[in-house]
Structure 1
Amino acid sequence: MKILKLAAVLPIAAFSTFQPAHAAGLTFIEVPSNDRGPVLTATVWYPCVGKPARVEMGFDYSTAVQDCPLAGEQLPLIVISHGVGGWSGNYHALAEMLADGGFVVAAINHPRDSGASKTRYPNDIASMTQRPVDMTRLVDFMLDRWSNASQIDTARIGVFGFSRGGFTGLAMIGGNPDWKLLLDNCPTYPGNRFCEQIRSTAIAPLVGDPRIKAAVLVDPAGGSLFTAEGLGKVTVPVQLWASEYGGDGLSPKDAATVAHNLPAKPDYRIVPNSGHFSFLPPCSQEFAKLVANSGEPELCTDRTGFDRVAFHKQFNADILAFFRKNLIETDQ
């Protein structure tokens, strides 16, 4: 376990084998509907040569080159899963850094609980169990039907997930929760049906995706539901991040339980003085005003002394280093 201290961000040039692109390319895609789910909307970043510019993305923007040609062959792929109410653009700065580092990055809008969804069912347990299916469909599309699929290395795929996305990542690497453990502490917020559904329905085991070779999991929702048995099939390297104080239904116990029950010791990092939403990137002025007016200012505010801007520079650099080590440098 590592207790982090904010430090100077490692310069990218310090990575001796790093081959920088000139910019992150960006394109918006749709994964067609099939018998496993509806149309999925997503954003893809990738290495390209060009002059980056502002690309509008709802309440934020990405600095990238829209629809430029992809540069490179046999590139590793990272797929990103957001938290409840999130969207594909949440981690655009991380995606830009990864793309400039030689990765293709695809971030999804989960249909049942994203902020971009027209119809949301975040209080239905299917909003959790369907998430790994969404992500596997995204990987399928990127490897088989995306216009640049032939330039992705199918043996080098990683996942990043925050909050419910962390739960999703655990499922993708072979984890299965013991849903009955939730009955001891049922969510009480209005409309939540999880415990009602657990009592009345046999929840099918989640299906992992053996193509995932490394995972970064951040404050995983429902982490305390993952027993040693439920994580017994996990074999890939994991970088696990935890907030010191939790929040929004997340407890420090969630990440701690995952860290304790994983078969192999993860790269476990507890961030001092942080809350759950400290892991969301710094808010734009427009988004901060929106959440303040909606009564959810905690999405954009932190405890006194926590510098979200400085933290995310280090956070992104550490994630890049983890994926480079486990997806690029493994054969060197």
Structure 2
Amino acid sequence: MTRIRVLLALLLLGSLQAHADAAPWVAGLHRLQLADPVDARPMQALAFYPTNADTHSLRIDGYPLRVAEEAPVALGQFPLLVVSHGNTGSPLALHDLATALARQGFVVIALTHPGDNALDHSRLGTLSNLYGRPLQVSAAITAARADTLLGPYLNDGKVGVIGYSAGGETALILSGAQPDLDRLQRYCQERPNDADACKTHGVLISDRSELTPQADPRVGAVVLMAPLSLMFGRHALSSVHVPALIYSGDNDQLLALEHNADALARKLPVTPDYRLLAGAGHFVFMAPCDSEQHAHMPALCNDAEGVDRRQIHRSLQRETADFFTQALGAPEPAERSAAAAAPAQQEHQAHP
């Protein structure tokens, strides 16, 4: 009898897991046009969202996608997320996470930071980049809520930010962190060979001295992957009170773990969920590469022996969706919204 109960429990668990893994929608793709708040020039963003339309395969900037372009949004109310990529990177490097979240009922804005992306490095090492990036994410949130395609289907709750590498720094500023520029300078004086963090020897170019770090009260949760966070001591983080899920590899070849993710996890006033991946490097958070990408950018595609990037990303997609559902509220398909509204409507009719 006990064996039968165990077997039934395992079958039920498997059924529930299969149901959880089955995405209720496919990913739509919508191009957003907005203005960079730093200089009012055009700024590009891609929106991934839940839809019921037919998908097709395409490549954008070398990244393979399977999406339904400019298709109608599925009926319902969905949480909004924004992706902030790393220095000289691309938001499409996280395309598998963005599309997976869209299939689970999130609207994900993948923003290209002007002056700090794969095609344009003109703002690297400047104040306009450090403080402009959070302003750009805030502008993307505003643009998504005002967009005629997306806006009607966004819930009115808090927004989540996904920050990879320097995007982690951006997400922290949006959450209330205050960068300590002296801390960066001291770090670079002690470690002048850190080519990634100390390109300008720890002294940022003061091209826009009027800019300051601006938090956005609409941000309610952050997921940080290999976050650049060495400018934040305990005092600089004292105003960050949003829940955080942090990932880092213990073999990060670009960012010193003890001065970034490890230190951040210790110093945040709200204890984060911190997950350290054994053997993983800095680029493991980029989407698994296809054969064409392996041929053109092997340094970004190859992982250490024993590191399974595909398995890591399956876990990352599931855990990120669970985290944002808990922090921001669950996506609400139209039928669920209607069912929830029915008792309230009946109560109103009974007591006008």
* Distance across 2 between alignment mates of 1:123 and 1:74: 39
Q: What does residue 74 of structure 1 align with?
A: 77
Question: Number of residues paired by the alignment?
Answer: 314
Which residue number in structure 2 is paired with residue 325 of structure 1? 326
Question: 1:236 and 2:227 equivalent?
Answer: no
Change (3 A) 1:37 1:174: farther
Q: Deviations over 1:163-184 (max 9, x none)?
A: 0111111111111121101112
Aligned partner letter, 2:279: N
**Aligned residues of 2:79 and 2:329 also touching (Cα < 8 A):** yes
- Structure 1 counterpart of 2:199: 192
Tell me what 2:288 maps to. 282
Where does the alignment leave 5 or more consecutive residues of structure 2 unmatched? 1-13, 333-339, 341-352
User: Counterpart of 2:161?
Assistant: 159
Contact 2:221–2:324 (CA<8 Å) still a contact in 1?
yes
> Are residues 111 and 161 of structure 1, via their aligned partners in 2, closer, same or farther at CA, if it must alter by over 3 Å?
same
Change (3 A) 1:133 1:37: farther
Query: Going by fraction, where is helix more abundant, 1 or 2?
Result: 2
Q: Does the 8 Å CA contact 1:219/1:250 hold for their aligned counterparts?
A: no
- The answer as to whether partners of 2:163 and 2:225 remain within 8 angstroms in 1 is yes
Aligned-partner SS, 1:235:
coil
* Correspondence list, 1:30-49, <5 A: 30-33=33-36, 37-49=40-52
- Superposed CA deviations along residues 136-179 of structure 1, whole A, max 9, x for unmatched, are 11111111245321221131310101001111111111111211
Give the 3 Å change call, closer, same or farther, for CA 68–141 of structure 1 in structure 2.
Answer: same
* Identity fraction in percent: 27
**CA 330–214 in structure 1, closer or farther in 2 if over 3 Å, else same:** farther
Question: Which of 183, 196, 205 in structure 2 is aligned with 1:181?
Answer: 183
- TM-score normalised by length of structure 2: 0.81
Contact 1:21 1:48 in 2 (8 A): no
SS in 2 for 1:195: coil
Displacement of 1:55 in angstroms is: 2.6
In the TM superposition, what are the counterparts of 1:13-52 in structure 2 within 5 Å?
Answer: 13-14=19-20, 20-33=23-36, 37-52=40-55
Greater Cα radius of gyration, structure 1 or 2? 2
How many angstroms does 1:286 deviate by? 2.0
**1:153 counterpart SS class:** coil
How far off is 1:33 after superposition?
4.6
Query: Offset of 1:309 from its aligned partner?
Result: 1.4
- What are the Cα deviations for residues 30-52 of structure 1, in whole angstroms up to 9, with x where unaligned? 11355654211011111111222
8 Å contact from structure 2 (residues 38, 132) kept in 1: no
Aligned partner of 2:101 in structure 1 is: 98
Aligned to 1:149: 151
Whether 1:260 and 2:229 are equivalent positions in the alignment is no
Question: Which deviates further from its counterpart, 259-268 or 140-149?
Answer: 140-149
In the TM superposition, what whole-angstrom CA distance separates every residue of 1:59-117 from its partner, at most 9, and x where no partner exists?
Answer: 11211111110012321101001111221311111111111111111000111111143
Deviations along 1:249-278, whole A, 9 cap, x unmatched?
443430111111111110111111111111
Q: 1:323, 1:68 → 2: CA distance?
A: 24
Tell me how far 1:12 sits from its aligned partner. Answer: 5.9
Match of 1:128 in 2: 130
* Separation in 2, partners of 1:174, 1:328: 22
**Aligned-residue CA RMSD (Å):** 2.8
